[in-house]
A = this chain, B = another copy of it.
Amino acid sequence: MRWEELDREPCSLARSLSIVGDRWTLLVLRECFLRVRRFEEFEQRLGIARHVLADRLKKLTDAGVLTKVPYQERPRREEYRLTEKGLDLYPVMLSLLDWGDKWMAGEEGPPVLRRHKACGKIARAVQVCSECGEPMGARDMTVEPGKGVTEEVLPPAAKAEGK
């Protein structure tokens, strides 16, 4: 599996990682969700090398995750904003945040708290089934090949389990 061809792998995880699966991209997107939008502000807050930042912003824009919107002409300046596709990455951020809160926080607990506007409480996310509303854990699921994918892409152990 080569990195440049990840986006054509028959696996949605691999395809997602072709966009967000590197050192910096998800940190850039964290800033986007915190409403950071300008090159300099990304750079200062992240301490990322400028050319790496430029490259990530370009890739995210090309991928349709961010979009450049002008905020002044003469000289033309543009800022980066999340598209719908980008906003849809929120569950990814949230699940990583929750995992970090649970497993990587020290004595002091989570460094940043998230409050749910609807109920006003500090909350974490629970994943439930889109069809029945019951919780979805790692071992509550079976996998099966979709269209255009052969059985072999799934390892024997995973296939056996579906039977």
* Residue from the list B12, B17, B45 in contact with A27, Cβ < 8 A: B17
Known: A13-B100, A27-B1, A92-B96. A143 touches B126 (CB 8 A): no
- A interface size (C-beta, 8 A): 99
* Residue from the list B10, B103, B115, B129 in contact with A123, Cβ < 8 A: B129
Question: Counting CB contacts under 8 A, is A121 at the interface?
Answer: yes
Q: A interface vs B, CB < 8 Å?
A: 1-3, 7, 10-23, 26-27, 30-31, 33-36, 41, 45-48, 64, 82, 85, 87-105, 108-119, 121-132, 134, 136-149, 153-155, 157-158, 161-162
User: Are A130 and B126 closer than 8 Å at their CB atoms?
Assistant: yes
User: Are A112 and B143 closer than 8 Å at their CB atoms?
Assistant: yes
Give Cα distance in the complex from A136 to B124, angstroms: 9
User: Are B16 and A104 closer than 8 Å at their CB atoms?
Assistant: yes
Extra 14 A-B pairs, beta carbons < 8 Å, given A12-B98, A13-B27, A125-B130: A11-B112, A12-B96, A12-B112, A13-B30, A13-B100, A15-B105, A17-B27, A17-B96, A21-B23, A35-B158, A36-B157, A91-B125, A112-B143, A126-B129
Give Cα distance in the complex from A141 to B97, angstroms: 13
Which residues of B have CB within 8 Å of A147? Answer: 108-109, 111
